[in-house]
Amino acid sequence: MLSKLKTELKSLSDKGRQNDGFAGVEAVERAFTLLNAFNDGCTALSLKELSNRSGLTKPTILRLAVSLEKFSYMIKDSAGLYHLGPMLWRLGSLFRQNLNLEVIIKPVLEELSKKTGESASFYIPRGKFGVCLFRINSKHLSRDQVEAGDIIPMGLGSSGQILKAFLYGRGKLATQIRKERTYVSSGERDPYITGVAAVVTGPGDEVVGSLSISGIAARFDERAIESYRTLILEAAQTIERSLGRPNE
């Protein structure tokens, strides 16, 4: 008798889940889908725009918005437009405070160096300079000598050009670098060194740093450079996803 009652209760519970369509993980995924509609810098969206961007129906959005507003993940202004809420700012701040870049970036550098046989570096901007935050040196005896903590001027070398273009750059070269998100430097800092770098950006397109592969120019023929461009872009995207940047 008890077993039969449990079965009937479970059946009723399952029917309830099927009817409302918002129980469990499905509801959470729909809420995240709604928040991700603000993916291109838009600060305010109407109900219609939210529906078009998310693929969710208006009644569904209205139901989700009630809970999101309750916990400050979304707010609705007097004009009926929806905005991201202050709780997301708080969580973002906590994420940054607890972010361990080494855990995210070091494995990517190690993989790049392993695949190419060259040195891999990650530079961060500091004023008008770039600072090498992490470095994996090539196993080649002939290689460019850079260590973590070394400073480079912006606008010189592959990483220097990337940082300058995305932070301060103007003109044709900077525009091209921002479009391609990569830059190849040959002989700029040292006549025997070539480097391939890519920008790494976080949520909101803020510049986090520059990822680079570098080594003796004689090993960087045209075929190798094109291959490294692809690898460095993929590696940069891997880091960006770990930093919370949405896929484009």
Predicted structure pTM score: 0.64
pLDDT of residue 39: 73
Interval 214-225 mean pLDDT? 94
- The 10s digit of each residue's pLDDT in 138-148 is 999 888 888 88
Q: How far is the CA of 218 from the CAs of 67, 142, 184, 194, in angstroms?
A: 60, 11, 14, 9
Reported as a pLDDT band with limits 50, 70 and 90, residue 116 is very high
In this prediction, residue 23 carries a pLDDT of: 45
The confidence score (pLDDT) of residue 2 equals 37
Q: Which of 15-24, 110-119, 169-178, 223-232 has the lowest mean pLDDT?
A: 15-24
Task: Please determine, for residue 14, whether its predicted confidence score (pLDDT) is greater than 80.
Answer: no
Is the pLDDT assigned to residue 237 strictly greater than 80?
yes
Question: At which residue do the structure tokens 């120019």 appear?
Answer: 217
Residue pair 183/206 in contact by the 8 Å Cβ criterion? no
Contact 153, 167 (CB under 8 A): no
How far apart CA 137 and CA 120 sit, in angstroms, is 7
Average pLDDT over all residues of the chain:
85
| CB-based burial label for 20 (10 Å; 0-12, 13-18, 19+) | exposed
Q: 3-state class of 10 per DSSP?
A: helix
The pLDDT tens digits of the residues spanning 27-54 come to 888 998 898 888 766 778 999 999 999 9
What integer is the mean pLDDT of 83-96? 76
> In the prediction, which pLDDT does 110 show?
96
Q: What is the pLDDT at residue 6?
A: 39
The H-or-E segment that residue 233 falls in is helix 222-242
Tokens of 117: 């046989």
Residue 209 has pLDDT above 90, yes or no: yes
Query: Is the predicted pLDDT of residue 190 greater than 50, yes or no?
Result: yes
- DSSP conformation letters of 128-165: TEEEEEEEE--SSSS-----TT-EEETTSHHHHHHHHH
pLDDT at 17: 43
Please report which helix (H) or strand (E) contains residue 124, including its range.
strand 119-126
Task: Between 15 and 184, name the one with better pLDDT.
Answer: 184
Find where tokens 């570098």 sit.
214
Across the range 96-125, mean pLDDT stands at: 88
